[in-house]
Structure 1
Amino acid sequence: MSGGGRDDRSVAEKLFAIADAFAGAEELTLSEIAARAALPLSTAHRLVGEWTEWGGLVRGDDGRYRVGMRMWRLGVREPTARRLRNAAMPYLEDLLDATGEHVHLAVRDGLGVVYLERRSGEKAVAMVSDIGTILPLHATGVGLALLAHAPADVYDDVVAAGLRRFQQNTITDEGELRRRLAEVRQTGIATSVQALTRGAFSVAAPVRDATGEVVAAVSIIAHVERLGEPQFGLGVRIAARGISAALGYRAPGT
Protein backbone atom coordinates (compact mmCIF):
# COMPACT_ATOMS: atom_id res chain seq x y z
CA MET A 1 0.00 0.00 0.00
CA SER A 2 0.99 3.65 -0.31
CA GLY A 3 2.00 3.80 3.36
CA GLY A 4 4.39 0.89 2.95
CA GLY A 5 2.32 -1.66 4.86
CA ARG A 6 1.16 -5.00 3.60
CA ASP A 7 -1.82 -4.91 1.26
CA ASP A 8 -4.02 -7.95 1.89
CA ARG A 9 -6.70 -6.94 -0.59
CA SER A 10 -7.59 -9.40 -3.34
CA VAL A 11 -6.99 -8.55 -6.99
CA ALA A 12 -10.73 -7.94 -7.38
CA GLU A 13 -10.72 -5.51 -4.45
CA LYS A 14 -7.81 -3.64 -6.00
CA LEU A 15 -9.66 -3.43 -9.32
CA PHE A 16 -12.74 -2.11 -7.51
CA ALA A 17 -10.53 0.43 -5.73
CA ILE A 18 -9.37 1.70 -9.11
CA ALA A 19 -12.99 2.02 -10.24
CA ASP A 20 -13.84 3.89 -7.01
CA ALA A 21 -10.95 6.27 -7.67
CA PHE A 22 -13.03 7.90 -10.40
CA ALA A 23 -15.83 8.91 -8.01
CA GLY A 24 -16.09 12.67 -8.44
CA ALA A 25 -13.31 12.78 -11.06
CA GLU A 26 -13.70 12.97 -14.82
CA GLU A 27 -10.08 12.19 -15.67
CA LEU A 28 -7.07 10.99 -13.66
CA THR A 29 -3.39 10.40 -14.27
CA LEU A 30 -1.91 7.03 -13.43
CA SER A 31 -0.25 8.54 -10.36
CA GLU A 32 -3.56 9.99 -9.19
CA ILE A 33 -5.27 6.63 -9.65
CA ALA A 34 -2.52 4.90 -7.67
CA ALA A 35 -2.82 7.42 -4.84
CA ARG A 36 -6.62 7.27 -4.67
CA ALA A 37 -6.65 3.46 -4.79
CA ALA A 38 -3.74 3.22 -2.29
CA LEU A 39 -1.70 1.10 -4.71
CA PRO A 40 1.98 1.06 -5.66
CA LEU A 41 2.47 2.72 -9.03
CA SER A 42 3.64 -0.53 -10.63
CA THR A 43 0.52 -2.38 -9.45
CA ALA A 44 -1.74 0.45 -10.58
CA HIS A 45 -0.03 0.45 -13.99
CA ARG A 46 -0.67 -3.27 -14.45
CA LEU A 47 -4.30 -3.21 -13.28
CA VAL A 48 -5.17 -0.02 -15.13
CA GLY A 49 -3.77 -1.68 -18.23
CA GLU A 50 -6.17 -4.59 -17.72
CA TRP A 51 -9.10 -2.20 -17.17
CA THR A 52 -8.14 -0.35 -20.38
CA GLU A 53 -7.74 -3.52 -22.44
CA TRP A 54 -11.22 -4.65 -21.32
CA GLY A 55 -12.73 -1.26 -22.16
CA GLY A 56 -13.55 -0.13 -18.63
CA LEU A 57 -11.09 2.77 -18.88
CA VAL A 58 -9.90 4.84 -21.82
CA ARG A 59 -6.46 6.47 -22.06
CA GLY A 60 -6.41 9.87 -23.75
CA ASP A 61 -3.66 11.29 -25.92
CA ASP A 62 -2.47 13.29 -22.91
CA GLY A 63 -1.98 10.09 -20.89
CA ARG A 64 -4.95 10.72 -18.58
CA TYR A 65 -7.59 8.06 -18.02
CA ARG A 66 -11.39 8.33 -17.98
CA VAL A 67 -14.23 5.85 -17.53
CA GLY A 68 -14.82 3.85 -20.71
CA MET A 69 -18.14 3.16 -22.38
CA ARG A 70 -18.08 -0.51 -21.43
CA MET A 71 -18.11 0.31 -17.72
CA TRP A 72 -20.65 3.08 -18.32
CA ARG A 73 -23.04 0.72 -20.12
CA LEU A 74 -22.92 -1.63 -17.15
CA GLY A 75 -23.80 1.25 -14.85
CA VAL A 76 -26.84 2.39 -16.82
CA ARG A 77 -28.21 -1.17 -16.79
CA GLU A 78 -28.50 -0.90 -12.98
CA PRO A 79 -32.25 -0.97 -12.15
CA THR A 80 -32.38 2.41 -10.39
CA ALA A 81 -30.58 4.17 -13.24
CA ARG A 82 -32.82 2.47 -15.80
CA ARG A 83 -35.94 3.46 -13.92
CA LEU A 84 -34.78 7.06 -13.65
CA ARG A 85 -34.01 7.28 -17.35
CA ASN A 86 -37.31 5.69 -18.35
CA ALA A 87 -39.30 8.01 -16.08
CA ALA A 88 -37.43 11.08 -17.27
CA MET A 89 -37.38 10.51 -21.02
CA PRO A 90 -40.81 11.98 -21.90
CA TYR A 91 -40.04 15.12 -19.90
CA LEU A 92 -36.59 15.49 -21.44
CA GLU A 93 -38.13 15.27 -24.89
CA ASP A 94 -40.70 17.92 -23.95
CA LEU A 95 -37.96 20.24 -22.68
CA LEU A 96 -35.99 19.72 -25.88
CA ASP A 97 -39.02 20.53 -28.01
CA ALA A 98 -39.76 23.64 -25.95
CA THR A 99 -36.23 25.09 -25.89
CA GLY A 100 -34.08 23.51 -28.62
CA GLU A 101 -31.19 23.47 -26.14
CA HIS A 102 -29.41 20.72 -24.17
CA VAL A 103 -31.45 18.88 -21.55
CA HIS A 104 -29.93 16.53 -18.99
CA LEU A 105 -30.71 14.00 -16.31
CA ALA A 106 -27.93 13.64 -13.74
CA VAL A 107 -27.17 11.97 -10.41
CA ARG A 108 -24.56 12.55 -7.73
CA ASP A 109 -21.65 10.13 -7.53
CA GLY A 110 -19.42 10.93 -4.58
CA LEU A 111 -18.17 14.50 -5.03
CA GLY A 112 -19.15 14.64 -8.69
CA VAL A 113 -22.24 14.68 -10.87
CA VAL A 114 -22.75 12.00 -13.53
CA TYR A 115 -24.93 12.60 -16.58
CA LEU A 116 -27.29 9.68 -17.19
CA GLU A 117 -29.07 11.11 -20.21
CA ARG A 118 -28.77 14.01 -22.63
CA ARG A 119 -30.91 15.37 -25.45
CA SER A 120 -29.67 18.23 -27.63
CA GLY A 121 -31.03 20.56 -30.29
CA GLU A 122 -29.18 21.19 -33.53
CA LYS A 123 -28.31 24.78 -32.57
CA ALA A 124 -27.65 24.12 -28.89
CA VAL A 125 -24.73 25.87 -27.22
CA ALA A 126 -21.32 24.15 -27.29
CA MET A 127 -20.63 22.40 -23.99
CA VAL A 128 -18.43 19.82 -22.27
CA SER A 129 -20.95 17.45 -20.68
CA ASP A 130 -22.16 14.24 -22.31
CA ILE A 131 -23.64 10.94 -21.19
CA GLY A 132 -21.28 9.41 -18.63
CA THR A 133 -19.36 12.63 -18.05
CA ILE A 134 -18.43 13.34 -14.43
CA LEU A 135 -18.26 17.04 -13.49
CA PRO A 136 -17.81 18.94 -10.20
CA LEU A 137 -20.84 19.59 -8.04
CA HIS A 138 -20.02 23.25 -7.35
CA ALA A 139 -19.63 24.29 -10.99
CA THR A 140 -22.84 22.98 -12.60
CA GLY A 141 -26.56 23.64 -12.25
CA VAL A 142 -27.37 19.98 -11.66
CA GLY A 143 -24.46 19.77 -9.23
CA LEU A 144 -25.77 22.68 -7.17
CA ALA A 145 -29.28 21.18 -7.16
CA LEU A 146 -27.91 17.87 -5.90
CA LEU A 147 -25.41 19.34 -3.43
CA ALA A 148 -28.12 21.51 -1.87
CA HIS A 149 -29.93 18.34 -0.80
CA ALA A 150 -26.91 16.13 -0.07
CA PRO A 151 -25.80 15.12 3.45
CA ALA A 152 -23.74 17.72 5.32
CA ASP A 153 -20.58 15.63 5.10
CA VAL A 154 -20.75 15.76 1.29
CA TYR A 155 -20.72 19.56 1.43
CA ASP A 156 -17.77 19.45 3.84
CA ASP A 157 -15.86 17.10 1.53
CA VAL A 158 -16.55 19.27 -1.52
CA VAL A 159 -15.18 22.33 0.26
CA ALA A 160 -12.20 20.39 1.63
CA ALA A 161 -11.35 19.12 -1.86
CA GLY A 162 -11.14 22.72 -3.09
CA LEU A 163 -13.54 24.77 -5.21
CA ARG A 164 -11.71 24.75 -8.52
CA ARG A 165 -12.25 27.72 -10.83
CA PHE A 166 -13.23 26.91 -14.43
CA GLN A 167 -14.62 30.27 -15.58
CA GLN A 168 -14.90 33.74 -14.13
CA ASN A 169 -18.26 32.94 -12.51
CA THR A 170 -17.30 29.61 -10.96
CA ILE A 171 -18.11 29.57 -7.24
CA THR A 172 -14.78 29.40 -5.41
CA ASP A 173 -15.75 30.93 -2.06
CA GLU A 174 -17.23 28.72 0.66
CA GLY A 175 -19.51 31.48 1.94
CA GLU A 176 -20.91 32.10 -1.52
CA LEU A 177 -21.46 28.38 -2.06
CA ARG A 178 -23.33 28.10 1.22
CA ARG A 179 -25.57 31.04 0.25
CA ARG A 180 -26.26 29.64 -3.19
CA LEU A 181 -27.25 26.26 -1.80
CA ALA A 182 -29.62 27.89 0.68
CA GLU A 183 -31.17 29.76 -2.25
CA VAL A 184 -31.60 26.50 -4.16
CA ARG A 185 -33.42 24.93 -1.22
CA GLN A 186 -35.67 27.98 -0.94
CA THR A 187 -36.53 28.45 -4.62
CA GLY A 188 -36.43 24.84 -5.80
CA ILE A 189 -34.14 25.56 -8.74
CA ALA A 190 -30.41 26.11 -9.27
CA THR A 191 -28.96 28.50 -11.84
CA SER A 192 -25.34 28.54 -12.95
CA VAL A 193 -24.22 31.24 -15.40
CA GLN A 194 -20.95 30.80 -17.30
CA ALA A 195 -19.49 28.89 -14.38
CA LEU A 196 -18.22 25.88 -16.32
CA THR A 197 -18.69 26.82 -19.98
CA ARG A 198 -18.27 30.27 -21.47
CA GLY A 199 -21.39 31.51 -23.23
CA ALA A 200 -23.72 29.07 -21.49
CA PHE A 201 -25.97 28.96 -18.47
CA SER A 202 -27.79 26.08 -16.82
CA VAL A 203 -30.93 25.86 -14.75
CA ALA A 204 -31.76 22.70 -12.82
CA ALA A 205 -34.31 21.26 -10.41
CA PRO A 206 -34.09 18.28 -8.03
CA VAL A 207 -35.91 14.98 -8.59
CA ARG A 208 -37.24 13.03 -5.59
CA ASP A 209 -38.10 9.36 -5.15
CA ALA A 210 -41.04 7.86 -3.26
CA THR A 211 -39.33 8.51 0.09
CA GLY A 212 -38.81 12.20 -0.67
CA GLU A 213 -35.05 11.82 -1.06
CA VAL A 214 -33.42 13.81 -3.86
CA VAL A 215 -32.00 11.18 -6.22
CA ALA A 216 -31.37 13.14 -9.42
CA ALA A 217 -31.63 16.52 -11.10
CA VAL A 218 -32.96 17.63 -14.46
CA SER A 219 -31.47 20.62 -16.27
CA ILE A 220 -31.37 22.76 -19.37
CA ILE A 221 -28.13 24.26 -20.65
CA ALA A 222 -28.65 27.15 -23.04
CA HIS A 223 -27.02 30.15 -24.69
CA VAL A 224 -26.41 32.84 -22.09
CA GLU A 225 -28.26 35.38 -24.26
CA ARG A 226 -31.47 33.50 -23.40
CA LEU A 227 -30.96 33.78 -19.64
CA GLY A 228 -33.98 36.05 -19.11
CA GLU A 229 -36.48 33.77 -20.86
CA PRO A 230 -38.95 32.39 -18.30
CA GLN A 231 -39.56 28.97 -19.83
CA PHE A 232 -36.27 27.51 -18.59
CA GLY A 233 -36.96 27.71 -14.86
CA LEU A 234 -40.61 26.82 -15.33
CA GLY A 235 -39.70 23.92 -17.60
CA VAL A 236 -37.26 22.23 -15.22
CA ARG A 237 -39.67 22.68 -12.31
CA ILE A 238 -42.47 20.95 -14.21
CA ALA A 239 -40.17 18.21 -15.49
CA ALA A 240 -38.72 17.53 -12.04
CA ARG A 241 -42.20 17.29 -10.53
CA GLY A 242 -43.34 14.94 -13.26
CA ILE A 243 -40.33 12.66 -12.97
CA SER A 244 -40.66 12.65 -9.17
CA ALA A 245 -44.32 11.69 -9.44
CA ALA A 246 -43.41 8.87 -11.82
CA LEU A 247 -40.96 7.61 -9.17
CA GLY A 248 -43.75 7.60 -6.57
CA TYR A 249 -43.15 10.93 -4.83
CA ARG A 250 -46.16 12.77 -3.45
CA ALA A 251 -45.61 16.32 -2.26
CA PRO A 252 -46.91 17.15 1.22
CA GLY A 253 -50.56 18.13 1.10
CA THR A 254 -51.31 16.33 -2.16
Structure 2
Amino acid sequence: MAGEGVLRRAMRILRAFDEDAPELSAAAIAARTGLALSSVHRLLQQMIDEGMLHRTAGHAYAVGASLWEIGELSPLALRLRETALAHMVRLYEATGENVHLAVLSESGPGAPAVVFAGRITGRASVPTLGRAGGRHPLHTTGVGKAILAARDDAWLDAYLRHPLVPETRRSITDPAVLRADLERARARGYASTREEMTLGNLSVAASLGPVPGLPPAALGIVAHLDDAHDERRLAPLVVQAAKDLTRALRHSDSH
Protein backbone atom coordinates (compact mmCIF):
# COMPACT_ATOMS: atom_id res chain seq x y z
CA MET A 1 0.00 0.00 0.00
CA ALA A 2 1.23 3.48 -0.85
CA GLY A 3 2.72 5.32 2.12
CA GLU A 4 2.87 2.18 4.26
CA GLY A 5 5.94 2.08 6.50
CA VAL A 6 8.58 -0.63 6.54
CA LEU A 7 7.54 -1.87 9.98
CA ARG A 8 3.93 -2.35 8.94
CA ARG A 9 4.98 -4.18 5.78
CA ALA A 10 7.30 -6.41 7.83
CA MET A 11 4.41 -7.26 10.14
CA ARG A 12 2.24 -8.13 7.17
CA ILE A 13 4.94 -10.56 6.08
CA LEU A 14 5.19 -12.13 9.54
CA ARG A 15 1.40 -12.50 9.75
CA ALA A 16 1.42 -14.33 6.41
CA PHE A 17 2.78 -17.37 8.26
CA ASP A 18 0.37 -19.57 10.20
CA GLU A 19 0.06 -23.07 11.62
CA ASP A 20 -0.93 -24.48 8.23
CA ALA A 21 1.86 -22.60 6.44
CA PRO A 22 4.95 -22.33 8.69
CA GLU A 23 7.12 -22.12 5.57
CA LEU A 24 6.35 -19.94 2.57
CA SER A 25 8.01 -19.01 -0.70
CA ALA A 26 8.52 -15.37 -1.63
CA ALA A 27 5.75 -15.69 -4.23
CA ALA A 28 3.35 -17.11 -1.62
CA ILE A 29 4.21 -14.29 0.78
CA ALA A 30 3.56 -11.73 -1.95
CA ALA A 31 0.20 -13.36 -2.72
CA ARG A 32 -0.83 -13.48 0.94
CA THR A 33 0.23 -9.91 1.74
CA GLY A 34 -0.64 -8.15 -1.52
CA LEU A 35 2.87 -6.67 -1.61
CA ALA A 36 4.84 -6.45 -4.83
CA LEU A 37 7.24 -9.36 -5.24
CA SER A 38 10.20 -6.98 -5.63
CA SER A 39 9.33 -5.32 -2.30
CA VAL A 40 8.93 -8.72 -0.65
CA HIS A 41 12.40 -9.79 -1.80
CA ARG A 42 13.98 -6.62 -0.38
CA LEU A 43 12.18 -6.97 2.95
CA LEU A 44 12.93 -10.68 3.21
CA GLN A 45 16.66 -10.05 2.95
CA GLN A 46 16.52 -7.34 5.63
CA MET A 47 14.47 -9.59 7.90
CA ILE A 48 16.92 -12.47 7.38
CA ASP A 49 19.82 -10.19 8.27
CA GLU A 50 18.08 -9.32 11.56
CA GLY A 51 17.24 -12.95 12.34
CA MET A 52 13.50 -12.36 12.02
CA LEU A 53 13.27 -14.93 9.24
CA HIS A 54 15.51 -17.68 7.93
CA ARG A 55 15.76 -19.60 4.69
CA THR A 56 14.69 -23.21 4.60
CA ALA A 57 15.22 -25.97 2.10
CA GLY A 58 13.61 -25.40 -1.25
CA HIS A 59 14.03 -21.61 -1.25
CA ALA A 60 11.29 -21.09 1.33
CA TYR A 61 11.24 -18.87 4.42
CA ALA A 62 10.26 -19.43 8.05
CA VAL A 63 10.06 -17.38 11.25
CA GLY A 64 13.53 -16.90 12.72
CA ALA A 65 14.96 -17.62 16.16
CA SER A 66 15.41 -13.94 17.01
CA LEU A 67 11.64 -13.48 17.21
CA TRP A 68 11.36 -16.42 19.60
CA GLU A 69 14.17 -15.03 21.78
CA ILE A 70 12.48 -11.62 21.97
CA GLY A 71 9.04 -13.16 22.47
CA GLU A 72 10.29 -15.03 25.54
CA LEU A 73 10.90 -11.63 27.17
CA SER A 74 7.19 -10.83 27.00
CA PRO A 75 5.30 -10.64 30.32
CA LEU A 76 3.13 -13.42 28.91
CA ALA A 77 6.19 -15.68 29.10
CA LEU A 78 8.21 -14.26 32.00
CA ARG A 79 5.32 -13.57 34.36
CA LEU A 80 2.12 -15.28 33.31
CA ARG A 81 3.28 -18.59 31.84
CA GLU A 82 6.11 -19.19 34.30
CA THR A 83 3.87 -18.50 37.29
CA ALA A 84 1.02 -20.51 35.79
CA LEU A 85 2.99 -23.66 35.05
CA ALA A 86 2.78 -25.20 38.53
CA HIS A 87 -0.95 -24.45 38.74
CA MET A 88 -1.52 -25.96 35.30
CA VAL A 89 0.39 -29.12 36.27
CA ARG A 90 -1.72 -29.53 39.40
CA LEU A 91 -4.91 -29.08 37.38
CA TYR A 92 -3.74 -31.64 34.84
CA GLU A 93 -2.84 -34.12 37.59
CA ALA A 94 -6.29 -33.67 39.16
CA THR A 95 -8.23 -34.10 35.93
CA GLY A 96 -6.03 -35.89 33.39
CA GLU A 97 -7.37 -33.48 30.76
CA ASN A 98 -5.82 -30.87 28.46
CA VAL A 99 -5.10 -27.64 30.33
CA HIS A 100 -5.05 -24.33 28.44
CA LEU A 101 -3.88 -20.89 29.52
CA ALA A 102 -5.09 -18.09 27.25
CA VAL A 103 -5.13 -14.29 27.00
CA LEU A 104 -7.19 -11.71 25.18
CA SER A 105 -5.60 -10.25 22.05
CA GLU A 106 -7.04 -7.04 20.63
CA SER A 107 -4.22 -6.46 18.16
CA GLY A 108 -4.05 -7.56 14.56
CA PRO A 109 -6.73 -7.69 11.88
CA GLY A 110 -10.30 -8.71 12.57
CA ALA A 111 -12.16 -9.21 15.81
CA PRO A 112 -10.46 -9.58 19.19
CA ALA A 113 -9.40 -13.17 19.74
CA VAL A 114 -7.98 -15.53 22.32
CA VAL A 115 -4.29 -16.48 22.16
CA PHE A 116 -3.01 -19.57 23.93
CA ALA A 117 -0.11 -18.68 26.22
CA GLY A 118 0.53 -22.24 27.36
CA ARG A 119 -0.87 -25.76 27.45
CA ILE A 120 -0.32 -29.09 29.15
CA THR A 121 -1.50 -32.30 27.57
CA GLY A 122 -0.93 -36.02 27.97
CA ARG A 123 -1.13 -39.17 25.88
CA ALA A 124 -4.62 -39.93 27.14
CA SER A 125 -5.91 -36.39 26.58
CA VAL A 126 -8.24 -35.68 23.67
CA PRO A 127 -6.73 -33.98 20.58
CA THR A 128 -7.29 -30.21 20.48
CA LEU A 129 -6.52 -27.33 18.14
CA GLY A 130 -4.95 -25.22 20.89
CA ARG A 131 -1.20 -24.61 20.78
CA ALA A 132 1.05 -22.06 22.45
CA GLY A 133 0.75 -18.89 20.37
CA GLY A 134 -2.35 -20.17 18.58
CA ARG A 135 -5.09 -17.63 17.91
CA HIS A 136 -8.75 -18.69 18.09
CA PRO A 137 -12.20 -17.07 18.29
CA LEU A 138 -13.42 -15.90 21.68
CA HIS A 139 -17.01 -17.08 21.21
CA THR A 140 -16.23 -20.72 20.35
CA THR A 141 -13.63 -21.59 23.01
CA GLY A 142 -14.12 -22.16 26.73
CA VAL A 143 -11.26 -19.83 27.68
CA GLY A 144 -12.56 -17.27 25.20
CA LYS A 145 -16.06 -17.35 26.66
CA ALA A 146 -14.62 -17.02 30.17
CA ILE A 147 -12.79 -13.87 29.06
CA LEU A 148 -15.92 -12.54 27.34
CA ALA A 149 -17.98 -13.12 30.49
CA ALA A 150 -15.55 -10.92 32.42
CA ARG A 151 -15.80 -7.99 29.96
CA ASP A 152 -18.14 -5.07 30.61
CA ASP A 153 -21.26 -4.40 28.52
CA ALA A 154 -19.69 -1.64 26.43
CA TRP A 155 -16.77 -3.85 25.43
CA LEU A 156 -19.10 -6.73 24.66
CA ASP A 157 -21.35 -4.48 22.55
CA ALA A 158 -18.35 -3.50 20.43
CA TYR A 159 -17.22 -7.12 20.10
CA LEU A 160 -20.65 -8.27 18.95
CA ARG A 161 -20.54 -5.84 16.03
CA HIS A 162 -18.20 -8.38 14.44
CA PRO A 163 -19.87 -11.43 12.88
CA LEU A 164 -19.81 -14.58 15.01
CA VAL A 165 -18.22 -16.97 12.52
CA PRO A 166 -18.96 -20.66 13.25
CA GLU A 167 -16.20 -23.22 13.73
CA THR A 168 -18.59 -26.20 13.88
CA ARG A 169 -22.33 -26.70 13.42
CA ARG A 170 -22.67 -26.31 17.21
CA SER A 171 -21.01 -22.87 17.37
CA ILE A 172 -23.13 -20.01 18.69
CA THR A 173 -23.60 -17.38 15.97
CA ASP A 174 -26.57 -15.45 17.38
CA PRO A 175 -25.49 -12.49 19.58
CA ALA A 176 -28.58 -12.81 21.79
CA VAL A 177 -27.89 -16.49 22.42
CA LEU A 178 -24.24 -15.74 23.20
CA ARG A 179 -25.23 -12.98 25.64
CA ALA A 180 -27.54 -15.42 27.47
CA ASP A 181 -24.76 -18.01 27.59
CA LEU A 182 -22.35 -15.45 29.05
CA GLU A 183 -24.92 -14.48 31.68
CA ARG A 184 -25.09 -18.10 32.76
CA ALA A 185 -21.30 -18.21 32.90
CA ARG A 186 -21.20 -15.14 35.13
CA ALA A 187 -23.84 -16.58 37.44
CA ARG A 188 -22.07 -19.90 37.98
CA GLY A 189 -18.49 -18.59 37.87
CA TYR A 190 -17.24 -20.52 34.85
CA ALA A 191 -17.83 -20.82 31.09
CA SER A 192 -18.27 -23.94 29.00
CA THR A 193 -18.51 -25.03 25.39
CA ARG A 194 -19.90 -28.22 23.89
CA GLU A 195 -18.57 -29.07 20.44
CA GLU A 196 -18.42 -25.37 19.54
CA MET A 197 -14.73 -25.38 18.56
CA THR A 198 -14.11 -29.08 17.93
CA LEU A 199 -16.76 -31.76 17.50
CA GLY A 200 -16.70 -34.31 20.31
CA ASN A 201 -15.05 -32.00 22.85
CA LEU A 202 -16.25 -30.22 25.99
CA SER A 203 -14.44 -27.24 27.52
CA VAL A 204 -14.70 -25.72 31.00
CA ALA A 205 -12.87 -22.47 31.81
CA ALA A 206 -12.66 -19.66 34.36
CA SER A 207 -11.24 -16.17 33.98
CA LEU A 208 -8.37 -14.89 36.09
CA GLY A 209 -8.92 -11.75 38.11
CA PRO A 210 -7.31 -8.51 36.89
CA VAL A 211 -3.51 -8.43 37.23
CA PRO A 212 -1.65 -5.15 36.56
CA GLY A 213 0.53 -5.35 33.46
CA LEU A 214 -1.16 -8.44 32.02
CA PRO A 215 -4.05 -8.76 29.55
CA PRO A 216 -7.31 -10.46 30.58
CA ALA A 217 -6.64 -14.19 30.88
CA ALA A 218 -8.40 -17.49 31.53
CA LEU A 219 -7.54 -21.04 32.51
CA GLY A 220 -9.46 -24.00 31.16
CA ILE A 221 -9.57 -27.69 30.39
CA VAL A 222 -10.78 -29.60 27.35
CA ALA A 223 -12.25 -33.09 27.72
CA HIS A 224 -14.12 -35.56 25.56
CA LEU A 225 -17.86 -34.93 25.39
CA ASP A 226 -18.45 -38.41 26.82
CA ASP A 227 -17.09 -36.96 30.08
CA ALA A 228 -19.74 -34.22 30.07
CA HIS A 229 -21.33 -35.70 33.20
CA ASP A 230 -18.08 -34.73 34.96
CA GLU A 231 -18.60 -31.00 34.30
CA ARG A 232 -19.84 -30.42 37.83
CA ARG A 233 -16.72 -32.17 39.17
CA LEU A 234 -14.30 -30.41 36.82
CA ALA A 235 -15.68 -26.88 37.11
CA PRO A 236 -14.78 -26.31 40.81
CA LEU A 237 -11.23 -27.51 40.12
CA VAL A 238 -10.85 -25.06 37.24
CA VAL A 239 -12.36 -22.17 39.20
CA GLN A 240 -10.09 -22.82 42.18
CA ALA A 241 -7.01 -23.08 39.95
CA ALA A 242 -7.87 -19.73 38.33
CA LYS A 243 -8.26 -18.13 41.77
CA ASP A 244 -4.98 -19.62 43.00
CA LEU A 245 -3.13 -18.43 39.89
CA THR A 246 -4.58 -14.93 40.21
CA ARG A 247 -3.45 -14.80 43.83
CA ALA A 248 0.05 -16.00 42.90
CA LEU A 249 0.41 -13.40 40.14
CA ARG A 250 -0.70 -10.59 42.42
CA HIS A 251 1.63 -11.82 45.17
CA SER A 252 4.58 -11.79 42.77
CA ASP A 253 3.71 -8.19 41.86
CA SER A 254 4.02 -7.12 45.48
CA HIS A 255 7.59 -8.45 45.83
Alignment TM-score, normalising by the size of structure 2: 0.75
**Residue in structure 1 matched with residue 138 of structure 2 by the alignment:** 137
- What root-mean-square deviation, in Å, do the aligned CA atoms of Structure 1 and Structure 2 show? 3.6
Percent identity over the alignment?
30
Quickly say closer, same or farther: Cα 1:211–1:116, change in 2 above 3 A.
Answer: closer
How far 1:232 moved relative to its partner? 1.3
**Residue in structure 2 matched with residue 195 of structure 1 by the alignment:** 196
* Contact 2:13 2:29 (C-alpha < 8 Å) held by counterparts: no
Gaps of 5+ in 2: 22-27, 107-111
Residue 177 in 1 paired to residue 178 in 2?
yes
* Contact 1:140 1:202 (C-alpha < 8 Å) held by counterparts: yes
How far 1:212 moved relative to its partner? 11
Spell out, residue by residue over 1:81-123, the C-alpha distance to the aligned partner (whole angstroms, 9 max, x if none).
Answer: 4211122111111111111110011101121111111111211
Query: What is the aligned counterpart of 1:106 among 102, 106, 116?
Result: 102
* Contact 1:48 1:57 (C-alpha < 8 Å) held by counterparts: no
**Residue in structure 1 matched with residue 89 of structure 2 by the alignment:** 93
Quickly say closer, same or farther: Cα 1:207–1:167, change in 2 above 3 A.
Answer: same
Spell out, residue by residue over 1:173-195, the C-alpha distance to the aligned partner (whole angstroms, 9 max, x if none).
Answer: 11111112222222221101111
Alignment TM-score, normalising by the size of structure 1: 0.75
| Over 6 Å off, 4+ runs | 25-29, 65-69
Gaps of 5+ in 1: 250-254
How far 1:206 moved relative to its partner? 0.5
* Contact 2:98 2:222 (C-alpha < 8 Å) held by counterparts: yes
Residue 14 in 1 paired to residue 9 in 2?
yes
Q: Aligned partners of 1:57 and 1:177: how far apart in 2?
A: 43
How far 1:130 moved relative to its partner? 1.2
**Residue in structure 2 matched with residue 216 of structure 1 by the alignment:** 217
Aligned residues: 233
Spell out, residue by residue over 1:13-58, the C-alpha distance to the aligned partner (whole angstroms, 9 max, x if none).
Answer: 4324555x68xx9779857963xxxx64547744774598555599
* Contact 1:57 1:71 (C-alpha < 8 Å) held by counterparts: no
SS of the residue corresponding to residue 250 of structure 2 reads coil
Q: Aligned partners of 1:185 and 1:212: how far apart in 2?
A: 24
